[in-house]
Chains A and B, each alone.
Chain A
Amino acid sequence: MFSLIKAEQMKLKRSPIWLAFLIMPVIPAFLGTLNYVANIEILQSEWYSLWTQHTLFTDYFFLPIMIGIYCSYIMRQEENNRNWNKVLTMPVSKNNIFIVKLICTSFMILISEIWIAILFILSGKIVGISSAIPINKLIVWCLFGTLGGIVMASIQLMLSLFIKSFALPIALALAGGLSGLVFLAKNLGHIWPYSLMAYGMNSNAPQELVKTGYLSFVIICFVYILIFMLISSTILNKRDI
């Protein structure tokens, strides 16, 4: 498994794709903070208001698209030059090939979440929020956001496995992200795979920390990841790539 991860890392070496995950959260951090300062008389919940400003658009529009692009890119490396033929004839489990790609994507999502948290704290300090940082909640938001993001990544990897186009799965990622907003509005955010990241990060109501409970959230996420992994592994095992 470790050698497969190393191989995957080698394929991504010198690819500037990781840079986008670092640059992207800077935009909501800067502009969200600007908006927070401009509307400080309305946004009175300090850290919580700032968190909403930082993560609202990120969770519904941009992180799903970024995850979509990353997954499409990872799968495209195998599509190019008929690389699947070489990968699938290697003496390794086909299931592991998918799992390793999911691990690499999950790592990028985790890095993004940590970076979002760092920028959030820095922004709060710069604008002079005096109350204590809700550090425990912040850790939970980021970890649950990562878990929800992994669910999204597993769907996107599966879609990119199905659809050979680079762009189409990304369009579906946007549709998914927007559908996530609808499902959250209908109070079904805890069961819809594309809502789980925004739901875990509590981006639209940060005070209400995962209403349905931590355990059920984690179970739902793992069930979804397992389902999409199984479907993808079946595709890899049965389908002629």
Chain B
Amino acid sequence: MNLLKCEYLKTRRRYIFITALAITAFAGIWAFYGNYSGDIKDFVIQNGYLLFLYQFPLMNAIFFPLLCIIIASRLCDIEHKGKNLKLICTLTEKSKIFDAKLIYGISIVIFCVILLWCATLIFGKIIGFAGKIPINLYLLYLLFTIIPTTAIYVFQYSLSMIFQNQAISFFVGILGEFIGLFSMFLPQFPLFRKSMLWGYYGALQFVGLFGYTKETRYDAAYMEVMDIDWTAFIVLIVAMTVIYIIGKKIFCKKEL
């Protein structure tokens, strides 16, 4: 707890929380801005909640990895500047510092994910989507957003802690995000999606849009809940744990 309090004190007036909220707000505006009238109005009102579950993983794949990169970089940069690690690692164990910073960063990122999730539900109510909120599906969606985001955060955080040059973690993160985003448009290659952390927003997507064509548009379109890929979910958790262990080990062995 003391270490977490230290993290809070170190990040005061560094606008980390505001930055996270700003990115989340931007993601929200991006997600909710759309056409809710005209010829697609009926379809959107009838299928709104499921439509969000179908569309939002793409938006998550754009914004949340970036949020992870920025928060991880900002938190770790505090220590790299002025060789602060040399000082704090003489006061407490390296592994504890690693964990405390990780928990602090993850809690900021998860808070933003939950905030956007709540905003989604409220927005659906305001627009007046038909039917009750499919809360079970939304809880699953929350889980399938939190876990890939946490896995990406652990990866970015490990990079940012290991490399002083934050450009490296940024470039790796952006390249990963880029590949992950592209993988969302290649559902015919499911293994490709599952081969990297950033592709799991798509791999764990469980709502599909069917029957949409350019000619008939939404006339014959329908939303359907698909099978959930629990194997991918387990693989992701294992990958996250492995990254955490490796990252922590490298950091603990590294000369400061």
Contact = CB atoms under 8 A, between A and B. Distances in A.
Contact of B166 (A27, A34, A42, A167): A167
A183 to B, nearest CB: 13
Contacts of A168: 15, 19, 70
Contacts of A35: 182, 185-186
A57 B58 CA distance: 13
Interface string A152-180: 00000000000001111011001100100
B166 A57 contact: no
A27 B182 contact: yes
B87 interface: no
A75 B62 CA distance: 26
Nearest to B26: A175
Interface stretch (A2-10, A60-68, A100-108): A60-68
A27 B178 contact: yes
B186 A34 contact: yes
B74 interface: yes
A31 interface: yes
Interface residue SS majority, chain A: helix
Given A73-B167, A167-B73, A167-B74, A38 B175 contact: no
Interface residues of B, number: 31
A65 B174 contact: yes
A34 B179 CA distance: 12
Contacts of A20: 171, 174-175
Contacts, number: 78
A189 interface: no
A239 B249 CA distance: 43
Interface string A19-50: 01001100110011011001000100000000
A128 interface: no
A16 interface: yes
A113 B73 CA distance: 28
Interface string B183-199: 10110110000000000
Given A66-B171, A168-B70, 6 more contacts: A38-B186, A38-B188, A61-B62, A61-B178, A69-B170, A72-B167
24 contacts: A20-B174, A23-B175, A24-B175, A27-B175, A31-B185, A31-B186, A34-B189, A38-B188, A57-B181, A61-B62, A62-B174, A62-B178, A65-B66, A69-B167, A69-B170, A167-B19, A167-B69, A167-B73, A168-B15, A170-B170, A171-B19, A171-B66, A175-B26, A178-B26
Interface of B: 14-15, 19, 22-23, 26, 30, 62, 66, 69-70, 73-74, 77, 166-168, 170-171, 174-175, 178-179, 181-183, 185-186, 188-189, 214
